[in-house]
Amino acid sequence: MSNLPPPPQSKMGAPPPPPSLIPGTQRPSMHPGQRGPPPPPPPSSGSPRAPSGFSMQGVNSQYMPAPQPHHPQQYQQPQHQQPQPQHQQQPGTQGPMMMRPSQPPLVSPQGRGLPPMPPQQISQPQHQQQQHIPPQPQQHPNDGMAGLSSQMSGMSIGHPPLQPGMASPPLTSQQKLRARRVYPTANSPTAAEQTAGTIPGASEYSPAAGTQPPGYPGASAAGYAPSVGPQTFVPGAQAPAPTSAADAGYARSPGAPGASSGIAQQQQQAQPAPYEPPRPRIDPTHMPTPISVHTHDQEIHNEQPYSTALKTNIPMASTNFTAIDDGNCNPRFVRLTMYSVPHTAELLRASHMPLGMVVQPLADLAPTEEPVKLIDFGEEGPIRCLRCKTYINPYMVFINGGKHFVCNICRHENPVPDDYFCNLDMAGRRLDSEMRPELRNGTVEFVATKDFIAREPVPTSFIFAIDVTWNAVQNGMVAQAAAAIKDALYSGPGLPSGAKVGLITYDRSAHFYSLSPMLDQAQMMVVPDIHDMFVPINDGFVADPFESRHVIEGLLDVLPTMFAQNRTAEPVLGAIVQAAHEALRGRGGKLIVFQTALPTFGPGSLKQRDDPKLHNTDKERTLYEPQDSFYHDWAVKLVEEGISCNLYTFPSAYMDLATLSQLSTVTSGELYSYPGFDAGRDGKRFAADLRADVQRTFGTNAVLRIRTSDGLRVDEHYGNLFMRNHVDVELAGVSSDTAIGALLQYDDKLDEKQDVYFQVALLYTTSDGQRRIRVHNLAVPCTTLIGSMFRNSEVDASMNLIAKMAVAEALSTPLKSIREKLSDRCVHILTAYRRNCASGSSPGQLILPEAYKLSPLYTLSLLKSPAIRGGADVPIDQRIFHMHLLRQLSVSKSARYFYPTIAPLHALGETEGVVDESTGTVSLPELARASYSMLNPAGAYFLSGDGSLTFWLGRQVPSQFLQEALGASSLEHVDIKQHSLPELDTVLSHKIRAIADQLVGNRSGFASVQIIRQGVDQAEVQFASKLIEDRNNDNMTYVDYVCAVHRQIQVEARPKGPTEPKWSYN
């Protein structure tokens, strides 16, 4: 195998990182009046004519399907076309033969040269034979990209060269004129097919008469016609169309695309079929996927722990790893979008990548990792820089024999206190550095002094406010909430020591309960005057859950029957917020509200304002804004007292979450939603969410500040937070899942010879009432090479930050513009990589940077999200909930949000589904791709992506599997109303339940399952909408979207004057 010459240097001076190569597509001919480059000259005699599979109506950056998909149809001569001369080619005769262009050399992801494919000598066949396409084997991540490269490498941007031995008759002037036009024909390739080449050694499909080509389903976009092959999913009870030619024999109407008329069939039987060129297609199995990328990363970090001293090549957010704190903080706490920071703003703009971070300050550590060290400096407090107030950390340099230290953030020279002095060794390090965690570890926690204590810290108090109106009683929410609260308090680890609990129920009035341990049972006091709200109980409203256990459990047991006959339908939410503020004033805590309907009575009453006429219009964003400032103003008052609010909603109609969610957004809480709540279906998931919410690490009265090296600053913060100034982030409550995004901006050039430093400091009160300061330190190299930026970028953190920014802009920008900007962002990043790191590659090749090769898929997933996607069928409350979800998601959770986990269950190995005793995790089977065509009709799969679990059963699943897994003899006897897996005494049942618990986050016994049977249950429509790689949710397939991105990159990469991106985050 001959080696190619070394790749060219970047325009910015960077050696290009190893790319993921996807060779590209031929550019179709364009109409004379169309935007873009001038049409190519007509082919001369002896040159094969360019394919005319589809027409591009102008090149733009919006990748949205056309309203009416254009299906290739049988060629019809236009009426304005001049009559053809007698010597012109007639339908059915043998015309000029299409040749596969010679393939240029390939470049593997590792940069090794691959030999070019020898040109194929194609003879003129008498009859076109249908060939069988063998199933594609599972590829290694790098092998898969190489396979995809081999498929697409045969396509070039211009006309293909004529192969030796091939000749075409000279074209007339009419044919030359016609060659400039593009007419759809029955055999035109789709957008995805034109982008691809052929697979060496794989069979190519040439459709015979009356058969359906097994193409990957396409979607029409700007200039893209959907494929005529089988669709990904047919809603309703009809089973999805088959994906193989053998199974594609379903009836078609005579006028349907792909159907042949009787005359055409007679002609085909009477004469030999004309030669048709091979139809190049992209094999979807060779597209970049998170499955192979995550599997490869997991294999790397299974072998050895990750040392944070490496500063780069951090584990992915979805990887199970063990980190050793060697000076840099654990990636679980802080993730940067790139781990080689450009030294100038110009270099960052050239890359179009976002520069920022996602901070999760109280993230849970792995069981195998050391806990955060606690340090007490006494009354003086921790050592800090006198100028910028940076806390002592491993990157401060001690000079003058240890008498002074230089701050790593601002470079200010500070004196060392006498009681902290220590001599230096020959390398300039303190002799006691290994004995001081603050000089050795990237993350430490300091005991706060009195200077950081505004009021005496106390343990956290939890107040549960339950809506007991008629709606809440009828749908079973009251009973489920009472049971879930009882389980959260008295099962598992329970609440931290010293925490207290209070309970409120409400309809048109507020009901308070005395939970004093001196009582035999709880005492209820009603406040009917909600316009003058107060707490009628001075002592006993909040009580220790263990001292008053008999009182609390008794109240929760009888609560559903107390309000079983309640007919009131108007909950007074505003008054409850006022009461919680009064009850927790001066101590802080958490308010957990369970709401089922729009509050239309009392303080903070809202009106029904949802207008379907505004949906999917530019004025729809007015529905994203709060109706009034009542809930926002009271949320600010809650922040002042250190009270966080988590809102659990159970909507059966419009609830105006845009207004109510202010309670959780401003107070750093979280929003949960269970539309159409069903106790049997959603009860377990609701109980699991509440249990995790109450028992996780939690703090109150928090303030967060991010410090950076001179030359950088934090430009914007994103998440559920409140800010009185541009520096301090106020968090009324902070949990282990709290994630804050920060976008960085340049003030000056950075010193490329020095590392870039970041310090995140969080001042908070722990749930057991201690005031602490947690500090995270991070140092990464500075670079002048754009190639290093791409090589050390982090796509999961980048897409998490981009999603938070897009949601923040939704209040002021139409969603259509946001969707365009998201696609533009993806195109600009990949174009920057081509220009600066792969400028010597063929224009017909799509080259993806290794670290960013999942960006097209994640961008497409974000476009399909209910928070961003178009269409009038998305309820406003559902859109608001997903916007709120993207705002609060951590990097690890957003990775699962962008791409669901699909685990096959029908062929489990001996070790799959078995708990590893050393790690406590369950070994999962090899995951499947999120595409309907990848699902085996004879198989069964778990789908998990949003906390819920779907159990999909193929229509040909064996009866033995159903008997061992569900205790059913056939698919028809499966009870789809059961929402928990039966505990059968079979090996398969044990393995499936273990996998279910692993997929929902190790919440044993809380896996609520929705069973869906292929082609039978209507819920399969919703299941199919979660398959990101298919055509759904008003967007194209993954393959077609990559084609669209590639074509736009070709337009952007043409030589032209300097332009600015349409959407710049920096």
As a whole number of angstroms, the distance between CA 833 and CA 855 comes to 13
Reported as a single tens digit per residue, the pLDDT across 44-70 is: 333 333 333 323 333 333 333 333 333
Interval 123-132 mean pLDDT = 38
pLDDT higher than threshold 70 for residue 479: yes
As a whole number of angstroms, the distance between CA 129 and CA 205 comes to 9
pLDDT higher than threshold 80 for residue 920: no
Beta bridge partners of residue 358, listed in sequence order = 335, 741
In residues, how long is the chain? 1066
> Do the Cβ atoms of 583 and 455 come closer than 8 Å?
no
Question: At 810, is the secondary structure helix, strand, or coil?
Answer: coil
pLDDT higher than threshold 50 for residue 263: no
Q: Using pLDDT thresholds of 50, 70 and 90, give the confidence band for residue 665.
A: very high
* Whole-number pLDDT of residue 19: 53
pLDDT higher than threshold 90 for residue 365: yes
* Whole-number pLDDT of residue 252: 33
The side-by-side arrangement of strands in the sheet containing 461-467 is 523-527, 510-514, 500-506, 461-467, 589-595, 643-649, 671-673
> Do the Cβ atoms of 396 and 374 come closer than 8 Å?
no
- Closest listed residue to residue 319, CA positions, set 339, 338, 294: 294
As a whole number of angstroms, the distance between CA 299 and CA 296 comes to 5
pLDDT higher than threshold 80 for residue 12: no
Question: At 618, is the secondary structure helix, strand, or coil?
Answer: helix
Contacts 24+ apart (CB under 8 A), 86-90: 87/172, 88/172, 88/174, 88/175, 89/175
As a whole number of angstroms, the distance between CA 979 and CA 217 comes to 32
Interval 747-758 mean pLDDT = 95
Interval 139-143 mean pLDDT = 41
pLDDT higher than threshold 50 for residue 103: no
Higher-pLDDT residue of 66, 977 = 977
pLDDT higher than threshold 80 for residue 24: no
Interval 109-134 mean pLDDT = 37
Per mean pLDDT, which range of 211-225, 381-395, 634-648, 932-946 is the poorest?
A: 211-225
H helix or E strand, kind and range, residue 944: strand 940-944
* Mean per-residue pLDDT over the chain, rounded: 78
Higher-pLDDT residue of 160, 659 = 659
> Do the Cβ atoms of 319 and 761 come closer than 8 Å?
no
pLDDT higher than threshold 90 for residue 141: no
- Closest listed residue to residue 830, CA positions, set 193, 284, 233, 61: 61
* Whole-number pLDDT of residue 37: 43
As a whole number of angstroms, the distance between CA 638 and CA 580 comes to 9
Q: Do the strands 106-107 and 510-514 form a parallel or antiparallel pair, or are they unpaired?
A: unpaired
Q: Which residues of 818-857 are buried (b: 16+ CB within 10 A; e: fewer)?
A: bbbbbbbbbbbbbbbbbbbbbeebbebbbbbbbbbbbbbb
* Whole-number pLDDT of residue 482: 97
As a whole number of angstroms, the distance between CA 286 and CA 181 comes to 33
* Whole-number pLDDT of residue 265: 37
Interval 26-46 mean pLDDT = 41
As a whole number of angstroms, the distance between CA 660 and CA 8 comes to 56
Q: Using pLDDT thresholds of 50, 70 and 90, give the confidence band for residue 461.
A: very high
* CATH class of the structural domain 315-457+696-785: mainly beta
H helix or E strand, kind and range, residue 712: strand 712-718
Question: At 613, is the secondary structure helix, strand, or coil?
Answer: helix
> Do the Cβ atoms of 643 and 590 come closer than 8 Å?
yes
Interval 289-306 mean pLDDT = 91
Interval 14-27 mean pLDDT = 46
Interval 400-411 mean pLDDT = 96
Interval 832-847 mean pLDDT = 88
Per mean pLDDT, which range of 302-316, 360-374, 414-428, 754-768 is the poorest?
A: 302-316
Q: Using pLDDT thresholds of 50, 70 and 90, give the confidence band for residue 843.
A: confident
Domain range annotation of the chain: 315-457+696-785, 461-695, 900-1027
Task: Give the Å distances, CA to CA, from 976 to 141, 680, 979, 981, 988.
Answer: 37, 11, 8, 11, 19
645 phi, psi to nearest 5 deg: -125, 125
As a whole number of angstroms, the distance between CA 359 and CA 745 comes to 17
CATH of 461-695 given 3.20.20.70, 1.10.600.10, 3.40.50.410, 1.10.30.50: 3.40.50.410
pLDDT higher than threshold 80 for residue 323: yes
Alpha helices in 573-666 (DSSP H): 573-583, 630-640, 657-660, 662-666
Q: Is the pTM of this model over 0.85?
A: no
pLDDT higher than threshold 60 for residue 208: no
- Closest listed residue to residue 883, CA positions, set 903, 897, 872, 873: 897
* Whole-number pLDDT of residue 527: 95
As a whole number of angstroms, the distance between CA 825 and CA 1062 comes to 8
> Do the Cβ atoms of 47 and 171 come closer than 8 Å?
no
pLDDT higher than threshold 70 for residue 429: yes
Reported as a single tens digit per residue, the pLDDT across 594-635 is: 999 999 999 999 999 999 999 989 899 999 999 999 999 999
CB-based contacts of 1030, cutoff 8 Å, min separation 6: 217, 232, 233, 930, 931, 932, 933, 1024, 1037, 1038
Residue 339, Cβ density class (10 Å: 0-12 exposed, 13-18 middle, ≥19 buried): buried
- Closest listed residue to residue 62, CA positions, set 1041, 1002, 1029: 1041
Interval 85-103 mean pLDDT = 37
* Whole-number pLDDT of residue 1007: 64
Here the tokens at position 1024 are 């199919």
CB-based contacts of 450, cutoff 8 Å, min separation 6: 379
Reported as a single tens digit per residue, the pLDDT across 981-990 is: 999 999 999 9
Fold of 900-1027: Severin (3.40.20)
Query: What percent of the chain is predicted at pLDDT more than 90?
Result: 63
As a whole number of angstroms, the distance between CA 536 and CA 583 comes to 10
Interval 727-735 mean pLDDT = 96
Kindly write down the DSSP assignment for every residue of 229-245, as one continuous string.
Answer: S--S---TTSPPPPSSG
Reported as a single tens digit per residue, the pLDDT across 159-203 is: 333 333 333 444 444 444 443 333 333 333 443 333 333 323 333
As a whole number of angstroms, the distance between CA 667 and CA 581 comes to 12
